[in-house]
């Protein structure tokens, strides 16, 4: 079962644009018989409208980007803990692209999470080439979840958010700006010992209901 199937209040626009696709890959945990989130090429977000003229800029302002702080609720082993962990992981997304620091991202990423691996690889490549990406981050508008059971050995967390504007700076100092917008993240969260890990993420554009 795809996680998003349980979200009747969200209307997904498959062809809507989102700057995430510049850097994201699909997601699945790849294990046979285990229901996990997947993203096909047709579902992957596409690049949003870019600015007309690139502008020169300076090196990546890593020291100026505030590092997200893990919330205390992440210590919980229930659905509330899974929801807190998923939202923290979402906060790490713009941080890793701005700084290239993957310490916390890698620590939370399950080896089977294709989305997690893709983000890490793309962030490393971006910074290795001298580039970086700054973002206004995400404003979470709704969170829902379902605990694990015998049929689904992970906790499903659905996060609706609004993505802010982002700017991607290339090696040459040219900058591209991207519009944000509504987006839905479907997380598969697993409890490993005392920590939450991300087994998979499905990313989809969400249009306002009734639009």
Q: How far is CA 37 from CA 34, 133, 160, 185, 201, in A?
A: 10, 26, 16, 10, 6
- Least confident interval from 11-15, 16-20, 136-140: 11-15
| 72-90: pLDDT as tens digits | 999 999 999 999 999 999 9
What three-state secondary structure class fits 45? coil
Domain 3-51+70-207: give its CATH architecture. Roll (3.10)
DSSP string, 89-149: HHHHHHHHHHH---HHHHHHB-TT-HHHHHHHHHHHHHHHTT-EEEE--EEEEEEEEE---
Mean pLDDT value of segment 10-14: 29
User: What pTM was estimated for this model as a whole?
Assistant: 0.72
What three-state secondary structure class fits 163? strand
- Least confident interval from 56-70, 77-91, 112-126: 56-70
- What's the start-to-end Cα distance of the chain, in Å? 27
């Amino acid at each position: 079962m795809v996680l998003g199937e349980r979200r009747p209040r969200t209307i997904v626009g498959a062809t809507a644009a989102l700057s995430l696709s510049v850097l994201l890959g699909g997601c699945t945990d790849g294990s046979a018989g285990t229901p996990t989130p997947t993203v096909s090429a047709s579902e992957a977000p596409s690049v949003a409208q870019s600015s007309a003229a690139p502008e020169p800029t300076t090196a990546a302002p890593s020291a100026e980007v505030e590092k997200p702080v893990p919330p205390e609720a992440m210590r919980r082993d229930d659905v509330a803990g899974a929801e807190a962990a998923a939202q923290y992981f979402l906060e790490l997304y713009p941080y890793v692209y701005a700084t290239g620091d993957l310490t916390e991202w890698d620590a939370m990423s399950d080896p089977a999470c294709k989305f997690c691996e893709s983000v890490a690889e793309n962030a490393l490549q971006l910074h290795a080439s001298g580039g970086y990406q700054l973002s206004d981050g995400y404003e979470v508008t709704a969170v829902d979840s379902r605990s694990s059971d015998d049929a689904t050995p992970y906790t499903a967390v659905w996060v609706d958010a609004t993505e802010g504007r982002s700017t991607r700076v290339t090696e040459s100092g040219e900058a591209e700006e991207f519009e944000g917008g509504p987006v839905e993240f479907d997380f598969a969260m697993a409890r490993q010992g005392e920590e939450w890990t991300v087994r998979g993420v499905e990313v989809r554009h969400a249009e306002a209901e009734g639009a």
